[in-house]
Amino acid sequence: MPDATIVLDTRAIQRALTRIAHEIAERNLASTEVALIGIPAGGDHLATRLGKILAEIWHHPVPVGALDVAMHRDDLDQRTAPTIYPTDIPFDVNGKTVVLVDDVLFSGRTTRAAMDALTDFGRPKKIQLAVLIDRGHRELPIKADFVGKNVPTALDEKISLLLTESGAAQDEVLLKKKL
């Protein structure tokens, strides 16, 4: 791949997720109230991985779901229609501490859409945000509670998360110029 920089390799991704899981555990003493909801594509796989690590820390299963945000986006007038991914929330969000999981935090607009989409399913007690990469350039007052790595970027750059769950040969986070 020409002029792509590896931001995180397989082991670094694993370490970052392990640390985030421990931070989630540290922040949330009422472990049975915690549920993870990933934002596809990317965040849903990360949520599943975090769920497994947290289950080992807490010695009980942690509910994991996926939430599509396409229908709640605020830019539907300015772009071709986005792909809609399956939403699957197999638990009641009312009263839960929901940790939203996304791969990259950028403008914050996806997170805003996710919070709106989530409230259609009920009223969580708290919503927290975990991201693997925070690349800056926020357009909304949104801040992540748990960050894998802060990566300063230019607007004409793109961050891609490759995961074996999505068919990649190995886990990687890449930074490259937009075409």
Partner 1 sequence: MSWTKKHLLDIESLTAEEIITVLDTARGFKAVGERAIKKVPALRGKTVVNLFVEPSTRTRISFELAAQRLSADIVNFSADASSFKKGETLKDTARNLEALNADFIIIRHSASGAPHFLSRVVNAHVINAGDGAHAHPTQALLDMFTIREKKGKIAGLNVTILGDILYSRVARSDIWALTKLGANVTLCGPSTLVPKTFERMGCRVTHDVDEAIRDADIINLLRIQHERQRATMFPSIGEYTQLFGLNQARLAKTKPDALIMHPGPINRGVEIDSEIADSGRSVILEQVTNGLAVRMAVLFLVNGGKTITETA
Name the site residues for partner 1 (rule: CB under 8 A): 68, 70-73, 76-77, 79-87, 116-117, 120-121
Nearer to partner 1, 54 or 66 (CB): 66
CA dihedral sign of residues 109, 39, 122, 19: negative
Q: Which is nearer to partner 1, 86 or 152 (CB)?
A: 86
Residue 113 CB neighbours (<10 A): 20
Closest distance of CB 66 from partner 1, Å:
11
- Residue 59 or 79: which CB sits closer to partner 1? 79
Q: How far is the CB of 20 from partner 1 (least distance, A)?
A: 28
The three-state secondary structure class of 6 is: strand
- On whether the CB atoms of residues 151 and 159 are closer than 8 A, the answer is yes
Q: Cβ closer to partner 1: 9 or 74?
A: 74
For β-strands 4-8 and 172-177, DSSP reports them as antiparallel
